[in-house]
Amino acid sequence: MKSLIKIFTVLVFLSGTVMAQTNQKETKVLETLDTFKTAIIDNDSEAASKVMADDALILEGSGMETKEEYLSHHFHSDGKFLSAINRKILTQKISIEGNTAWVSTVSSMKGTYSERKIDLTSLELAVLKKAGSDWKIAAIHWSSR
């Protein structure tokens, strides 16, 4: 009986450790995405670049841009747009396998931009990869309806 209690105690401890590590990984992934969105709003391309993989791709609408193309082009207009909009996350799912994470998010976006009322449902799929101890954005796909 004592050995059974010891085994149970070890299993509970190990499952708690695994859950804590998983939650810590999820937190780091979400912090990376939050840093990216803050950098867009703050028009800080250097901060955005630091959380993006060198070969990152941005897919939006019918276009696809490299990291360099995005940071020199749509990045600035995205910042103006996000600064004017209230974004509320409706659902979010985080999956992590090894050194790859993907986050699917559905958000409500409301506000006024360029004298137009905005009321959108935004979809985002972000793929991140582990680079050393950091998570880097490898790809993001945005769409809205």
What is the per-residue pLDDT across 48-103, written as a single tens digit (0 to 9) for each? 999 999 999 999 988 999 999 999 989 999 999 999 999 999 999 999 999 999 99
pLDDT at residue 5, rounded to an integer: 53
Domain borders along the chain are: 2-144
Mean pLDDT of 10-25: 52
| Tokens standing for residue 30 | 């979400």
Of 12-21, 37-46, 73-82, the range with the lowest mean pLDDT is 12-21
pLDDT at residue 1, rounded to an integer: 52
d(CA 122, CA 43): 21
pLDDT at residue 67, rounded to an integer: 97
Q: How many Å separate Cα 138 from the centre of its chain?
A: 10
Q: Which of 118-122's residues contact partners 24+ apart within 8 Å by CB, and which partners?
A: 118/84, 118/85, 120/144, 120/145, 121/90, 121/145, 122/87
User: Which distant-in-sequence residues (6+ apart) come within 8 Å of 114 by Cβ?
Assistant: none
- What pTM was estimated for this model as a whole? 0.81
Mean pLDDT of 128-135: 95
DSSP assignment of 78-136, as one string?
Answer: HHHHHHHEEEEEEEEEEEEETTEEEEEEEEEEEEEETTEEEEEEEEEEEEEEEETTEEE
- Number of Cβ within 10 Å of residue 85's Cβ equals 19
Domain 2-144 top-level CATH class: alpha beta
Mean pLDDT of 123-134: 96
